[in-house]
């Protein structure tokens, strides 16, 4: 079976992940996970893998059909100097995060879990990808203007690379789509292995 033939369910409300899967021709349903995301973990890679697994497992438990399927759970964090930057608590927190990123390189890690059933057998695959983002020096005016736009308030690390912030990104290393929220090429490769 090819991934394109499998019933795919995205366990995320993220419009960016939804759009990326559609762009890749991986058509799917959306079932937002209600998993508890309280995890005592400071290692970014371990954290996103645990959270992606919790999200996928919670949605998987709601599937009653006997058809083959895969739930895609995902979680993304930004980290710098060992500090994880989630979504900002408000405008001042967003400014604090952007000051941390100014003029420096930081990392974006997305964890993904595929949890489902093939030929009556439960299958689970969890993996993560890390990309590096280099940001130009930001003036206080640039930071304030960007925060005032509202764009950073619902995004990990207080920015979206696919939005107005792109003009401050000087270089990336790794998968661009991973930074947006889903490493699509890796997801496709893992889905092929999941189906085989």
154 among known catalytic residues: no
Segments of the chain scoring below 50 in pLDDT: none
186 contacts 175 by C-beta, under 8 angstroms: yes
Residue whose structure tokens are 């058809």: 67
DSSP three-state, residue 180: helix
- What kind of architecture, by CATH, is found in domain 3-195? Alpha-Beta Complex (3.90)
Catalytic residue among 75, 81, 148, 154: 75
Amino acid 109: pLDDT:
95
**Percent of the chain predicted with pLDDT > 90:** 85
d(CA 107, CA 125) in angstroms, rounded, equals 23
For the chain, the structural domain boundaries read 3-195
181 contacts 23 by C-beta, under 8 angstroms: no
Amino acid 139: pLDDT:
98
């Amino acid at each position: 079976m090819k991934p394109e033939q499998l019933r795919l369910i995205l366990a995320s409300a993220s419009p960016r992940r939804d759009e990326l899967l559609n762009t890749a021709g991986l058509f799917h349903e959306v079932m937002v996970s209600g998993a508890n995301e309280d995890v005592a973990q400071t290692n970014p890679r371990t954290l996103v893998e645990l959270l992606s697994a919790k999200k996928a497992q919670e949605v998987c438990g709601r599937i009653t059909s006997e058809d083959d399927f895969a739930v895609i759970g995902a979680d993304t964090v930004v980290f710098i100097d060992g500090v994880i930057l989630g979504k900002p608590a408000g405008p001042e927190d967003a400014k604090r995060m952007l000051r941390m990123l100014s003029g420096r390189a930081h990392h974006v890690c997305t964890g993904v879990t595929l949890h489902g059933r093939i030929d009556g057998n439960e299958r689970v695959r969890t993996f993560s990808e890390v990309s590096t983002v280099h940001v130009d020096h930001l003036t206080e005016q640039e930071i304030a203007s960007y925060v005032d736009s509202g764009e950073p308030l619902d995004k990990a690390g207080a920015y979206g690379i696919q939005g107005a912030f792109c003009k401050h990104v000087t270089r990336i290393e790794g998968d661009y789509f991973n930074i947006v929220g889903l490493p699509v090429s890796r997801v496709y490769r893992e889905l092929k292995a999941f189906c085989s």
